Structure 1
Amino acid sequence: MSTAWILIGALLLDAALGEPRWLWQKLPHPAVLMGRAIDWADTQYNEGINRKAKGIIVIVGLVLAAWMLGKVISLFGWLPQLLVVAVLLAQRSLVDHVKAVGNALRLSVGEGRIMVARIVSRDTAEMSQSAVARSAIESGAENLSDGVVAPAFWFLIAGLPGLLIYKMVNTADSMIGYRSDRHREFGWAAARLDDVLNWVPARITAALIALTHHGLRHWSAVRSDAKLHRSPNAGWPEAAMARALNVALAGPRAYDGTMQDFPFVHAQGQKQLSASDVDACCRALWMAWGALLVVCIAFALIF
């Protein structure tokens, strides 16, 4: 079975079943195992001098380990590959988490804050209804790229080794990416490599969102808005989602008690948001997923 058909099966399996909690209560999730390896490396090597060089060596080692593991699993045929890919895709769980924020927000702002705190790293205690909804939508857009499109892209390009390498680097970036003094040097390689691996998928994600809503006639505006984001990649799916829903995303938010004055993405969009906007985001996530599935089927039929 070709890589494209394996990916199609994995996309459908993930969409149908999502994360089987009963399984991960008995076995560690692959992402958890990756996290443990990264945490061990951080504990062992993130000290003393030459931390940047040590971080580079660690990332090279993790990439090689992921590549070898992918090669070994691939030897056992298409079924193990399909199952691993389905586990490492996150469409169903992503939509479920975003939808849960909208459902909680209908009960109260406080309930919405509790649920959104599970999917974002910013301060949530003082969030307004609009801030809760905005955060959920941003998380949905960004994680559509990180959790669905990018894994699918790298599997299609480089098979299971490519997918495992991407997930390892992406997990490392989330854990040791240079966002703190401790990881400023040690996590440099993880953050930079993650930016490289997400460059194409982020723009594909934006295109999928745009094509399933207003087409590409706002593409120049999406490109301009994406540049306002502090991330070279996350701004693309967020800018496309902002245009698709006609809402303003990003903007000021607090981290660790400090308010940071980030610019709005699509500042002309609606700023007073509610649970209905979160629902619209969930629909947009499924529409983009559907477009990705169609692209994969076309790829399988052509190649």
Structure 2
Amino acid sequence: MTVVIAMLLDALLGEPDWIWRRVPHPAVLMGRAIGWLDERFNRGSMIVGGAVFAALVAAAGALGLLLSALGPVVEILIGAVLIAQKSLVQHVRAVASGLRFSLAEGRRNVGMIVGRDTGGMDRAAVARGAIESAAENLSDGVIAPVFWFLVGGLPGLLIYKVTNTADSMIGYRTARYERFGKAAARFDDLLNVVPARLSAVLILAAHFRPDAWGAVRADAPKHRSPNAGWPEAAMAQVLGVALSGPRTYDGQMRDYPWVNIGGRRMLTHEDIDRAAGALWRTWALLFGLIAAGVMIIAVV
């Protein structure tokens, strides 16, 4: 029941700005801690990086146990804060709204949610970026937190979130982080194995497209991430569009393969709106399944 109420609160309230203008968001606190550890201990050692990350995970688990002892209200509130369904939809819809107004506004808004270069994007590329971000963050920001909240309670949720935050900050294959951040990157991959595939299943099921599973299985490994390709491939199938493909990072063109290569490539703001609708349909299916499971357990 804790997870059900947390999901409902997040869907209704999202991220109230008036709160986070006064106190730091838990994800911000996690980021500050990781940034401090990076500055203090990162000397390019894989062993040190692994030890630092292990301590971070242990601290997150211990904090989760401590907060859980305060009762279900605390668990619900923290769960609602760390599940990001409504805020994800708002960020995705902001790109559609910007693109309706102008290409420049669309580029500006999509630049807030993707890491690629946006200055040379056309309208279709802006829409693709928003849709890909929607699919990947559905898994990372909604399905995975809910999954680990169900499996491990508040400790499981906090361990997942601190791992995901660490991966986004130090899990890069760069000279600075290749060794120090490897443990965070690999553990994040591990924690997302089930949620990423579950996300793909839920996206297809919410759109009554079990027939597309074979195509998703074929396309998912094309992604450079071992997990992100699953929700992205499923979203491409239910929308009937082609995703991924060539794009630019730091001024360099990367020739990534197309996902759902036969799908439509001339995308517009309307396709972003359809992706936002797919996010809510998938959330509703997940919510319904968990609520039904809670009721069955209560009756039994």
TM-score band by shorter chain is over 0.9
Aligned-residue offset at 1:302: 2.9
C-alpha separation between the residues in 2 aligned to 1:58 and 1:68? Answer: 15
1:18 has 2:10 as partner:
no
Q: 1:235 aligns with which of 209, 212, 229?
A: 229
1:292 has 2:286 as partner:
yes
Name the SS for the 1:227 alignment partner: helix
| C-alpha contact 1:178 1:186 (8 A) present in aligned 2 | no
Instruction: Give the structure 2 partner of residue 201 of structure 1.
Output: 195
- Higher mean Cα deviation, 177-186 or 14-23? 177-186
Name the SS for the 1:254 alignment partner: strand
Letter of the 1:109 counterpart: L
Instruction: Give the structure 2 partner of residue 134 of structure 1.
Output: 128
C-alpha separation between the residues in 2 aligned to 1:114 and 1:144? Answer: 21
1:262-298 C-alpha deviation (Å, 9 max, x unpaired):
0010010000000000000000000000001011112
1:38 has 2:34 as partner:
yes
- Higher mean Cα deviation, 31-40 or 214-223? 214-223
Aligned-residue offset at 1:220: 1.0
1:135-157 C-alpha deviation (Å, 9 max, x unpaired):
00000000000000000000000
Instruction: Give the structure 1 partner of residue 102 of structure 2.
Output: 108
Letter of the 1:69 counterpart: L
Instruction: Give the structure 1 partner of residue 276 of structure 2.
Output: 282
1:97-145 C-alpha deviation (Å, 9 max, x unpaired):
0000001101111110000000001000010000000000000000000
C-alpha separation between the residues in 2 aligned to 1:15 and 1:152? Answer: 13
Q: 2:61 aligns with which of 37, 46, 67?
A: 67
Q: 2:186 aligns with which of 188, 192, 216?
A: 192
1:59-109 C-alpha deviation (Å, 9 max, x unpaired):
110110000100011011100000000000100000000000001101111
% identity of equivalent residues = 56
Instruction: Give the structure 2 partner of residue 251 of structure 1.
Output: 245
- Unmatched segments (≥5 aa) in structure 1: none
Letter of the 2:40 counterpart: Q
Aligned-residue offset at 1:299: 2.0
Instruction: Give the structure 1 partner of residue 23 of structure 2.
Output: 27
Name the SS for the 2:287 alignment partner: helix
Letter of the 1:102 counterpart: A
| C-alpha contact 2:209 2:238 (8 A) present in aligned 1 | no
| C-alpha contact 1:178 1:185 (8 A) present in aligned 2 | no
Q: 1:218 aligns with which of 200, 206, 212?
A: 212
1:120-159 residue pairs with structure 2 within 5 A?
A: 120-159=114-153
Letter of the 2:6 counterpart: A
Letter of the 1:96 counterpart: Q
Count of matched residue positions in the alignment of Structure 1 and Structure 2 = 297
C-alpha separation between the residues in 2 aligned to 1:36 and 1:173? Answer: 14
1:2-17 residue pairs with structure 2 within 5 A?
A: 5-17=1-13
- Higher mean Cα deviation, 178-187 or 284-293? 178-187
Q: 1:161 aligns with which of 155, 177, 183?
A: 155
Aligned-residue offset at 1:39: 0.5
C-alpha separation between the residues in 2 aligned to 1:94 and 1:285? Answer: 9
| C-alpha contact 1:102 1:276 (8 A) present in aligned 2 | yes
C-alpha separation between the residues in 2 aligned to 1:179 and 1:245? Answer: 32
Q: 1:82 aligns with which of 58, 76, 79?
A: 76
CA RMSD across the alignment: 0.7
C-alpha separation between the residues in 2 aligned to 1:194 and 1:300? Answer: 28
C-alpha separation between the residues in 2 aligned to 1:176 and 1:211? Answer: 34
